[in-house]
Chains A and B, each alone.
Chain A
Amino acid sequence: MRKRRHKRPILIRVLGVLVLWTVLFLVLSGSALAAGEVTIVVSRTNDPHSLDPADEITVGGGLESQVALYERLVNVDADASFKPGLAELWEVSEDGLTYTFHLRKGVKFHDGTDFNAEAVRFTWQRIMAINTAAAQYWKSVKDIEVVDDHTVKIHLQQVNPSFLGVLAGQRGVYMGPSPTWVKAHEKTPGDWAKDYTVDHECGTGPFMLEAWNHDQELIYARFPDYWGGWAGKHVDRIVHRIIKEHATTRLMLEKGDVDITGDVLPIDIADQLKGKANIVLDTAPTTLINQFTFNMHNGPTKDVRVRRAIAMLFDYNTAVDYGFRGYAARVYGPLPSNLWPQLSANVPHIQTDLEKAKKLLAEAGYPDGFTLKMAAMDMHNWKTLILLLQDNLSQAGIKLDVEFTTWPVLFQKLQQPAGQKPFGMAAYQMWAAIPDPVDILMWWHTNAITVINPGWGTPETDKWIDGARSTVNHEKRVELYTKVVEQIAEDAPGVWIAQPLNVMVYQKWLKGYKYVPYYNGLLNWYDLYVEGKPGS
């Protein structure tokens, strides 16, 4: 009995110490975030590969972070108009070879140094010296001339009518890091601080990288000296939370633990969140196109009648209604419907027509069908779309063997030269990242057959594409690109499945979100703010 009486006070004492420890730690260490600050949590699937704008240009690989930390000279709006970025004004010389930019004054890099004309020149030199992902966007630049501290002239090697669009695009055109910072962090002189810039930054953007716990989260805090200032409504901190599993993201959104999805959720998961309290499903037209392309050099798909027949067998309405859950629209050519030029009425607008398709197949010598190989990536709604195609094609006796792979494997197949493509059909998504058809139609040049173009094109069509790329005369460009899209429609090198809508999921209390199709997958960080959040 005595023993028992002794045991209880000891237990209570131990518990007491534990509670005291807990309270003390909570009080002393406190929360990492100061009271009253507004923090939002943004989900994303991947840790960035690199924060270096010269080396990483993919959404999912680092662009989502770069847009918080770095800025462009020029921006583009959803209506395709160009807006000032780090450059307030710009002029283009009459011959289209020189672009003069008047830079914004009072812009600072995160290390406190000034952003100026020399920094623009330095950015270009660094990108070209590192010569990886971003270099392709600067290849047409002959030289960058520093006129004065806030004026810079970019001289091109040849006319590039879409150059402003490239500078306003989302890949490879971010200014920085600061020259002083780069010099200070070079491991060996002249290495452009390549290694250090992978997980450090020094841009001019509204947010600075505060912490990066790999595969867990990235935290960004306001840059106090941001040229835009912090009057008005903004957030103080943004947390990029790495959540691999979309089902987990969904639960966290439902509970309010995630404010907005940084990556576009698979359409079925997003659709399940429709109508949930506090959740907004924001939809907007994209400049994306989901397409199946044909092998034009080997097998039955060499014959245009077979390609047209397959395009007629596909059930577009079901694809939109079920494959995209209604978040898409039909499209009739290789360009999205919100980009010029569009198909005129006198070229074929293919519709689903089983009988006509069977007739075409019989004419081509395949009345009983054949077997085709399909290369695709197992991602998002591709499986549904391909299963639908498989079912549609079976009605005409065509058997579709599908190989779902990862990106590197699909790329390896796509980039085989014409005549050696190891598939009859391939599935992938195209995207106009600038408000100019060149971004999609350049891939229909015969010299681009290695990656996206399945083998379409003639010297004549190449001439049209080259012509449209080397003139600043808009009417001429419209005329040439119209010829290209109409010839593509005639030759049916692909099945244009649909143009998906962007479906962004976020909490009702998050305001300021705006979708710009040319910045697909990226957030407008500076404009976001929180209003009416329960308990805030």
Chain B
Amino acid sequence: MKIHYLIIRRILQTIPVLLGVTFLTFSVSHSVPGDPARAMAGIYATVETVEAIRHRWGLDRPLPAQYVIYLRGLLHGDLGISIQTRRPVLDDIKDRLPATLELTLFAALLMCVIGIPFGIASANWRNRLPDHFARLFVVFGGAVPTFWLALILQLIFFRWLDWLPAGTRISREMVEPAHITSLYLLDSLLTGNMPAFLDTLEHIVLPGITLALTGTVGIARMTRASMLDALQKDFIRAARANGLSRKAVILKHALKNALIPTVTVLGLLFGAMLGGTFVIEWIFSWPGIGTYAATSITNLDYTAIMGVSLVVALVYVTANLLVDISYMILDPRIRYE
């Protein structure tokens, strides 16, 4: 199947997936026995006040009616109004998604830059010092809880060494880069705003490392395993017999073949990271959808919870589509029927 057919088919498949996501999140969030109107009004509000708020937000309607209204809005690109911010959920997500995407992309880049070389080194020097070192890193990275690592990194690099900031996306004193993609690193580079670039880089390092650690371990292990597998293959032996240099054999022949499972893991990890930024964004005061979602859940902000779930699902599906496309590029023999 050609790439554009694949894309069209996937887009069509996305519709029932997203519909399912709305139904599931609606059912689950509304089955929590909570009262967002009362939470909004406060413990001291009178019953009449709570009723007025409930009416204003349409929470007094039967659940099926609320769901139908939500779906009708969705068809018009309206994700509803958030109870906690009193703004359209779509605007809230538009404001916050770039921050999360930037953090996730940065972490994904770190995962590749660190994880793949670790995996290659481990495979190349199997059971030797680099492999032991990589194994130690893998065990550490797999064992460390994210929230703990985040706090320790803050303590060391912010409090003790004073090298990096403890949170947010950019310093208050810094002029924000012009919004082209809303990814500060990219926008500051595109506009040649180097101080903003460096400042954003400083801010993203700690949350980026924290978010990347667990995934890096997965990438390193997957690369090692598939490299070891590839290095046993006949075509590698043939390449070596043809007198190709060790570097060329590993980087050009073995790696390209070993990368396919790594890319699969990367695609899955990207979706998982996007959903897993809650804790990291919370600790590093990162103004993304993770923080937004966490606050929405505690406030039982139904529309916001559903909006975030939809967007995460959409990104997840897109990431998987990109993985499938990258398969075709990495291995021209792969075609989907």
Which A residues have a C-beta under 8 Å from some C-beta of B? 18, 21-22, 25-26, 29, 31-33, 46-47, 49-50, 55, 57-58, 61, 131-133, 135-136, 171, 195, 198-199, 213-217, 219, 239, 241-245, 247-248, 251-252, 254-255, 257, 405-409, 411-415, 428, 431, 433, 439, 443, 450-452
Q: Are A451 and B43 in contact (CB under 8 A)?
A: yes
B3 adjacent to chain A (CB < 8 Å): no
Q: Is the CB of A215 within 8 A of B151?
A: no
* CB–CB A407/B172 < 8 A: no
B28 at the A/B interface (Cβ < 8 Å)?
Answer: no
* Cross-chain contact B35 with A412 (CB below 8 angstroms): yes
Question: A248, B173: Cβ atoms under 8 Å?
Answer: no
Interface Cβ pair total, 8 Å cutoff: 164
Report the minimal beta-carbon distance from A469 to chain B, rounded to whole angstroms: 14
| A49-B40, A412-B34 known; A132+B52 contact, CB < 8 A | yes
The complex places the Cα of A132 from the Cα of B37 at a distance, in Å, of 10
A298 vs B39: C-alpha distance when bound (angstroms): 26
Is B85 interfacial (CB 8 A cutoff)?
yes
**Interface pair B291/A244, CB less than 8 Å apart:** yes
Q: How far is the CB of B101 from chain A (nearest CB, A)?
A: 15
Task: Sample 30 A-B pairs with CB under 8 A, ordered by A number.
Answer: A25-B193, A26-B195, A33-B173, A47-B295, A49-B83, A49-B84, A132-B56, A136-B45, A136-B46, A136-B49, A216-B169, A216-B287, A241-B285, A243-B167, A244-B281, A244-B282, A244-B291, A245-B282, A247-B154, A248-B154, A251-B166, A257-B166, A406-B299, A406-B300, A408-B34, A411-B34, A412-B34, A415-B50, A428-B43, A431-B44
Q: How far is the CB of B32 from chain A (nearest CB, A)?
A: 6
Report if B155 contacts A (CB, 8 A).
Answer: yes
Contacting residue for B300 out of A243, A254, A408, CB 8 A = A408
User: CB-nearest residue of chain A relative to B87?
Assistant: A198
Task: Say yes or no: is B135 at the interface (Cβ < 8 Å to chain A).
Answer: no
Residues on the B chain within 8 Å of A243, using CB:
167, 285
Tell me the minimal C-beta distance from A284 to chain B in angstroms.
22
Residues of chain A within 8 A (CB-CB) of B162 are 255
Residues of A with C-beta under 8 A to B282: 244-245
The answer to whether B73 has its CB under 8 Å from any CB of chain A is no
Instruction: Determine whether the beta carbon of B195 is less than 8 Å from that of A133.
Output: no
Q: Which A residues touch B166, using CB under 8 A?
A: 248, 251-252, 257
* Known pairs A251-B154, A406-B298 / 4 extra A-B pairs, C-beta < 8 Å: A49-B85, A244-B281, A247-B151, A439-B44
Q: Does B292 contact A (CB under 8 A)?
A: yes
Find out whether the CB atom of A411 lies under 8 angstroms from the CB atom of B38. Answer: yes
Which chain B residues in 282-310 approach chain A with CB under 8 Å?
282-285, 287-288, 291-292, 294-295, 297-300
Pairwise interchain contact B159-A215, C-beta atoms closer than 8 A:
no
Give the residues in chain B near A195, CB-CB below 8 Å. 86
- Taken residue by residue from 74 to 89, chain B's Cβ proximity to chain A (1 for < 8 Å, 0 otherwise) reads as 0000000001111100
**Chain B proximity of A308: nearest CB distance (Å):** 26
Is B16 part of the contact surface with A, judged by Cβ < 8 Å? no
Bound form: Cα–Cα A252–B172 in Å:
15
A25: chain B residues at CB < 8 Å are: 175, 193-196
B158 touches A251 (CB 8 A): yes
**A31 is contacted by which of B40, B173, B284 (Cβ under 8 Å)?**
B173
Contact status A215-B292, CB under 8 Å? yes
Q: Which residues of A contact B58 (CB under 8 A)?
A: none
Q: How far is the CA of A131 from the CA of B81 in the complex (A)?
A: 18
Say whether B39 contacts A411, CB under 8 Å.
Answer: yes
Residues of A within 8 A of B283 (CB): 244-245, 247-248
Closest Cβ of chain A: how far from B154's Cβ, in Å?
6
Residue of B nearest to A254 (CB): B159
Chain B nearest Cβ from A431, distance in angstroms: 8
Residue B36, interface by CB 8 Å: yes
Q: A214-B92, A248-B154, A409-B33 are in contact. Are A57 and B42 (CB under 8 A)?
A: yes
Bound Cα distance A31, B84 (Å): 32
Is residue B96 contacting chain A, with contact meaning CB distance below 8 A?
A: yes
* Partner pick for A216 among B52, B168, B175, CB 8 A cutoff: B168
* In the assembled complex, B1 has its CB within 8 A of some CB on chain A: no
Query: Nearest chain B CB to A55's CB is how many angstroms away?
Result: 7
Cα–Cα distance between A61 and B83 once the two chains are bound (Å): 11
- Within 8 Å CB of B287, what residues of A? 213-216, 242
B41 CB within 8 Å of chain A: yes
Contact assessment for A255 and B158 in the assembled complex, using a CB-CB cutoff below 8 Å: yes
The reply to whether B52 and A135 contact each other, CB–CB distance below 8 Å, is: yes
Interface contact B284-A407, CB-CB below 8 Å: no
Task: Kindly report which residue of chain A lies nearest to residue B291, judged by CB atoms.
Answer: A215
Closest Cβ of chain A to B220, distance in Å, is 29
Nearest-Cβ distance from residue B311 to partner chain A, whole angstroms: 16
The chain A residue sitting closest to B285, CB to CB, is A243
Known A-B contacts A22-B194, A25-B194, A244-B283; A198 and B86 likewise in contact (beta carbons under 8 Å):
yes
Say yes or no for B228: interface residue by CB 8 A criterion. no
The answer for the CA separation of A381 and B147 in the assembled complex, in Å, is 21
Knowing A22-B195, A22-B198 are in contact, say whether A409-B49 is a contact too (CB < 8 A): no
Q: Are B299 and A133 within 8 A (Cβ)?
A: no
- Cβ-closest 7 pairs across A and B: A408-B34, A215-B287, A408-B300, A411-B38, A408-B39, A21-B194, A409-B34
With a CB–CB cut-off of 8 A, which chain A residues contact B40? 49, 58, 61, 133
Which of the residues A21, A47, A413, A452 comes within 8 Å of B85, measured between beta carbons?
A: A47
A415 / chain B contacts, CB cutoff of 8 Å: 35, 38, 50
Provide the residues of chain B in CB contact with A46, threshold 8 Å: 295
Neighbouring B residues of A248 by C-beta, 8 Å:
154, 166-167, 283-285
Query: Roughly how many angstroms separate A46 CA and B196 CA in the complex, as a whole number?
Result: 26
Contacts of A131 in B (CB 8 A): 52
Give the most central of B46, B84, B294: most A CB within 10 Å: B46
Q: How far is the CB of B59 from chain A (nearest CB, A)?
A: 11
Closest to B194 in A: A21
Rounded to whole Å, the gap between the CB of A177 and the closest CB of chain B is: 15
Contact A452 B43 (CB under 8 A): yes
In the assembled complex, which residues on chain B have CB atoms less than 8 Å from the CB atom of A50?
85-86
Q: Which of A171, A199, A450 touches B87 (beta carbons < 8 Å)?
A: A199
Contacts A132-B52, A251-B159 given: A214-B45 contact, CB under 8 Å?
Answer: no
A22 — which chain B residues lie within 8 A by C-beta? Answer: 194-195, 198
